[in-house]
């Protein structure tokens, strides 16, 4: 399919050239020069905002890396590194509850995101060609669910009625798609150059081929952002665990393990003989707790910088307006 590669190149040249990142907006000539007081207040406010966001994370990371001695000296959370050790992480990763939970979380996030993205991308493209068969009806079917839903209990009864209690799929399928995300994808796919698609069609490409070889490659940014949204949703989900598998502690994802610990004070992972009982007496309990918190943060912090730059490219703002 040589022509498709050619049309893709054409798409690249058609796409607006990336504007060279400016360092600074020039201050417009008509604007008053900044006052010292004004700038100070502005800088101070933004500084406080940043500190409120960053300091708690800093304290948690530092505490998780602290020795028992450092925690004792600080009398609790550690503000400044004072004897760094990875002991808490070693103990944490040796604990089977946390290890299992980590695997469960990663698995659900990976499979769930894949399912959600496949279903959403197909649906969004299926609805994006104007005047296609029944697209108005199907679109209405989707949008209605944004305003009307059965609510918690009827949904619970349906999922359990289908035998979902304690099953992995009950953590993925009931909330696998977000209509809002589909609509965002659809608005992007609708704006994919119609000429490009027609050219491919004349070359004999079907809709599947067009979706895979033209539409998806030309909308990488929005795809990445949507995958992040879905992925974060799965990674963070804990209520559906509470609903559908509250008792199988070996199926709990990380967030639920963290939840049981938040909710029950120190009683780390629900079950008594989880290994944490002994772990607590050996190492700083606080640093161990903080290590679990950090563990739930790490995957997000790894992915976030790669996707975050696309927020700025108007992915979201365009979507919200469209």
Partner 1 sequence: MTTATPTRPDRGTRPARQSWRVRLRRDRSLVLMTLPAVVLLLVFNYVPLFGLVTAFQEYDPLAGIWYSTWAGLDQFQRLFGDANFWNAVQNTLYLSFVQLVLFFPVPIALALLLNSVLSLRIRNFIQSVVYLPHFFSWVLAITIFQQMLGGAGALNHFLRNNDVGTWDVMTNPDTFALLVSAQVIWKEAGWGIIVFLAALAAINTDLYEAAAADGAGRWRRLWHITLPGLRGVIVLMLVLRLGNALTVGFEQFLIQRNAVGYDTADVLDTFSFYYGIATGDYSYGAAAGLFKSVISLLLIWGANKLAHAFGEDGLYRR
145 is an interface residue for partner 1 by CB under 8 A: yes
What is the DSSP code (8-state) at residue 148?
-
130 is an interface residue for partner 1 by CB under 8 A: yes
306 is an interface residue for partner 1 by CB under 8 A: no
22 is an interface residue for partner 1 by CB under 8 A: yes
196 is an interface residue for partner 1 by CB under 8 A: no
Cβ-contact 186, 127 below 8 angstroms:
yes
141 is an interface residue for partner 1 by CB under 8 A: yes
Closest approach, Cβ 184 to partner 1, in A, equals: 13
- Reading the block at residue 301, the tokens are 């912090």
Cβ-contact 101, 256 below 8 angstroms:
yes
- Reading the block at residue 273, the tokens are 């003989």
Closer residue to partner 1 in complex, CB, 40/57: 57
* Residue of 207, 212, 249, 280 interacting with partner 1 (CB under 8 A): 207
61 is an interface residue for partner 1 by CB under 8 A: no
Euclidean distance between CA atoms 297 and 139, whole angstroms: 36
- Reading the block at residue 134, the tokens are 């029944």
Q: In the chain, how long is the greatest CA-to-CA distance?
A: 74
142 is an interface residue for partner 1 by CB under 8 A: yes
Closer residue to partner 1 in complex, CB, 263/273: 263
Packing angle between helix 254-263 and helix 285-310, nearest 10 degrees?
Answer: 130
42 is an interface residue for partner 1 by CB under 8 A: yes
Euclidean distance between CA atoms 240 and 252, whole angstroms: 11
In this chain, which stretch among 6-14, 133-141, 219-227, 276-284 interacts with partner 1, using CB under 8 A?
133-141
* Residue of 104, 258, 268, 288 interacting with partner 1 (CB under 8 A): 258
User: Measured between alpha carbons, how far apart are the two ends of the chain, in Å?
Assistant: 34
Euclidean distance between CA atoms 251 and 245, whole angstroms: 8
20 is an interface residue for partner 1 by CB under 8 A: no
Residues in the chain: 322
Instruction: Tell me which residue has tokens 């953590």.
Output: 171
Cβ-contact 59, 78 below 8 angstroms:
yes
Closest approach, Cβ 82 to partner 1, in A, equals: 15
Touching partner 1, residues 86-115 (CB under 8 A): none
16 is an interface residue for partner 1 by CB under 8 A: no
Closest approach, Cβ 202 to partner 1, in A, equals: 6
Euclidean distance between CA atoms 147 and 317, whole angstroms: 22
Q: Is the dihedral of CA 77, 81, 85, 90 positive or negative?
A: positive
- Reading the block at residue 30, the tokens are 């008509």
Closest approach, Cβ 182 to partner 1, in A, equals: 7
118 is an interface residue for partner 1 by CB under 8 A: yes
150 is an interface residue for partner 1 by CB under 8 A: yes
176 is an interface residue for partner 1 by CB under 8 A: yes
Cβ-contact 279, 99 below 8 angstroms:
no
40 is an interface residue for partner 1 by CB under 8 A: no
* Residue of 18, 19, 20, 30 interacting with partner 1 (CB under 8 A): 30
In this chain, which stretch among 10-18, 86-94, 177-185, 216-224 interacts with partner 1, using CB under 8 A?
177-185
245 is an interface residue for partner 1 by CB under 8 A: no
């Amino acid at each position: 399919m040589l022509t498709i590669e050619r049309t893709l190149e054409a798409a690249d040249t058609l796409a607006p050239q990336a504007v060279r990142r400016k360092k600074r907006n020039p201050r417009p000539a008509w604007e008053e020069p900044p006052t010292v007081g004004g700038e100070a207040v502005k800088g101070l406010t933004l500084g406080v905002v940043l500190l409120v966001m960053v300091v708690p994370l800093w304290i948690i990371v530092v505490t998780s890396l602290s020795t028992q001695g450092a925690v004792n000296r600080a009398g609790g959370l550690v503000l400044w590194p004072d004897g760094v050790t990875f002991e808490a992480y070693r103990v944490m990763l040796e604990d089977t509850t946390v290890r299992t939970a980590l695997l469960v979380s990663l698995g659900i996030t990976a499979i769930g995101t894949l399912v959600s993205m496949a279903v959403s991308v197909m649906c969004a493209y299926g609805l994006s060609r104007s005047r296609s068969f029944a697209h108005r009806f199907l679109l209405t079917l989707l949008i209605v669910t944004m305003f009307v839903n059965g609510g918690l209990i009827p949904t619970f009864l349906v999922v359990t009625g289908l035998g979902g209690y304690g099953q992995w799929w009950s953590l993925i399928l009931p909330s696998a798609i977000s209509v809002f995300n589909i609509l965002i994808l659809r608005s992007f796919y609708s704006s994919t150059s119609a000429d490009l698609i027609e050219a491919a069609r004349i070359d004999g490409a079907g809709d599947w081929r067009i979706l895979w070889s033209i539409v998806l490659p030309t909308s990488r940014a929005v795809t990445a952002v949507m995958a992040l949204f879905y992925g974060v949703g799965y990674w963070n989900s804990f209520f559906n665990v509470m609903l559908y598998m509250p008792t199988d502690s070996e199926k709990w994802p990380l967030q639920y393990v963290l939840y049981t610990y938040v909710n029950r004070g120190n009683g780390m992972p629900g079950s008594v003989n989880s290994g944490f009982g002994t772990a607590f007496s050996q190492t700083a309990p606080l640093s161990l707790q903080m290590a679990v918190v950090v563990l739930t943060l790490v995957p997000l912090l790894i992915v976030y910088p790669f996707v975050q730059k696309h927020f700025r490219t108007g992915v979201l703002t365009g979507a919200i307006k469209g």
